[in-house]
Amino acid sequence: MADLSAFPITKKWPPQNPDVLQLYSFPTPNGVKVSIALEEMNIPYEAHKVTLSDVDVKSPEFLSLNPNNKIPAIIDPNGPDGPPIGLFESGAILIYLAEKSGKLIGKTATERAQIIQWVMFQMGGLGPMLGQLGFFSKFAGSQWEDKRPQQRYIDEAKRLLNVLEQALDGKDWIMGEYSIADIAIAPWLGALEFYGTRDVVGWSDHPNLVAYLDRFLERPAVKVGRVTPARD
């Protein structure tokens, strides 16, 4: 049985089976990337619910694994060099899992590089911009009288959606076959409905994206991963 006692997070969220990968997450667009990937790759794992409240993400135990106090994070008891490894940042975890499993990262070095570029597109652009759009549309920022910040993120969201709309022209998936790039991107597109911003960004004017998200949401692994760990 794997010894994970070197990871203080296991004191707050004890593993039931320390021999499988431990996922610390919550079903947000970033969080479900990893649970979906684990389901798609058939990697055995145990999910621990880490709420977004300070009592969890700012607890000493969670900060010991992710000093940036954001979900998701993982512990893999079977690290690439033998000992267990802990990782945070959803994009880094996606790449790690794809390389570990040999799945969803392309068949050649060229495909791998192209897939990773789209993961970085999501990490550096799509996710942060749509997240800010949500803040200024649904959450506290929506109450600000100055609407220039909101308009900035509306405009940037539209631009990014157009990039994706063009990239998906004549294709089912963002880069060749289904990959971690799609697992990174699609949950954030789904967040537009949660934020109530589909109309303001002209979602229905992007037929390639509408069909793309529908395809993604119909995948059995996606249906499971989107609700793992359970909110309740």
Average pLDDT over residues 43-63: 98
- Name residue, tokens 């320390």: 18
- The domain covering 9-103 belongs, at the CATH homologous superfamily level, to Glutaredoxin (3.40.30.10)
Q: Quick: pLDDT tens for 110-160.
A: 999 999 999 999 999 999 999 999 999 988 777 878 889 899 999 999 999
- For domain 109-221, the CATH architecture is Up-down Bundle (1.20)
pTM of the model as a whole: 0.96
Domain ranges of the chain: 9-103, 109-221
pLDDT score, position 157:
97
Q: What is the pLDDT of residue 19?
A: 98
Q: Is pLDDT of 76 > 90?
A: yes
Which pLDDT does position 218 carry in this prediction? 98
pLDDT at position 77 is 98
> What pLDDT sits at residue 135?
92
Q: What is the pLDDT of residue 140?
A: 78
Share of the chain above pLDDT 70, in %: 100
Q: What is the pLDDT of residue 143?
A: 82
Average per-residue pLDDT in the chain? 97
- What pLDDT band is residue 11 in, cutting at 50, 70 and 90? very high
Q: Is 132 exposed, middle or buried (0-12, 13-18, 19+ CB in 10 A)?
A: middle
Summarize the confidence of residues 53-74 as an average pLDDT. Answer: 98
Q: According to the model, what pLDDT value does residue 42 have?
A: 98
- Average pLDDT score over residue span 67-95: 98
The pLDDT of residue 141 is 79
The string of pLDDT tens digits covering residues 20-36 is 999 999 999 999 999 99
